Amino acid sequence: MKFFISLLVAVTLIVAGVPVLKVNAQDISNSPNSYAFGTLDASSSYPTGLNFTVENNSGYDVRITIRGSDMTGGIPWTLSDTPGPDIYGLKAGLDGVSYDITVTTTNTTLIENLTDNSSQQWGLELLSPTSFSDGVQKSGNVTLTATQL
């Protein structure tokens, strides 16, 4: 039996500064701030392409980390590095590189050093669960955190 799920991931950006030197959140941005994966089949992968761009105009070099969340809506999906029943995976990748960064619920480095006045394209790959317990729309968050170097 095939189930279809409409899925939306919202991307948020948090800026953390060193106490002596503050990084302004307005000067670091990510766009777009959401992505709709649409209808999903079980046990499939859904790459976004390099659909996202993070830009740094803060006056400082920053490290960008990434983390994901469990999906909500109906029976939740758990984020894991290995998909299973109601368990999904996320990978991230940078311009010119495959989706080789495993996204978990804890911060993982996405960009080691994003220099001032520069930007980086990046994308996600969603690995759908092996089976779905319901057909309710799911949503989750991917959070980028910028930390001054």
The sign of the torsion formed by the CA atoms of 17, 15, 127, 100 equals negative
- Domains of the chain in sequence order: 5-148 (2.60.40)
| Tokens matching residue 97 | 């590189």
Q: What's this model's pTM, rounded to 2 decimal places?
A: 0.87
Question: Is the pLDDT score of 31 beyond 80?
Answer: yes
CA pair distance 38, 15, nearest whole angstrom = 29
Cβ density class 113-125: b for 16+ within 10 Å, e for less: ebeeeebbebbbb
For the chain, percent of residues with pLDDT exceeding 90: 58
Please write the tens of the pLDDT for every residue from 99-129: 999 999 999 999 999 999 999 999 999 999 9
pLDDT at 11: 57
Please write the tens of the pLDDT for every residue from 72-94: 999 999 999 999 999 999 999 99
* Distance, first Cα to last Cα, the chain: 50
CA pair distance 87, 83, nearest whole angstrom = 5
pLDDT grade, residue 14 (50/70/90)? low
pLDDT at 12: 57
pLDDT at 116: 95
pLDDT at 6: 47
pLDDT at 123: 94
The dihedrals phi and psi of 43, each to the nearest 5 degrees, come to: 55, 45
| Tokens matching residue 63 | 């490290």
| Tokens matching residue 47 | 């790459």
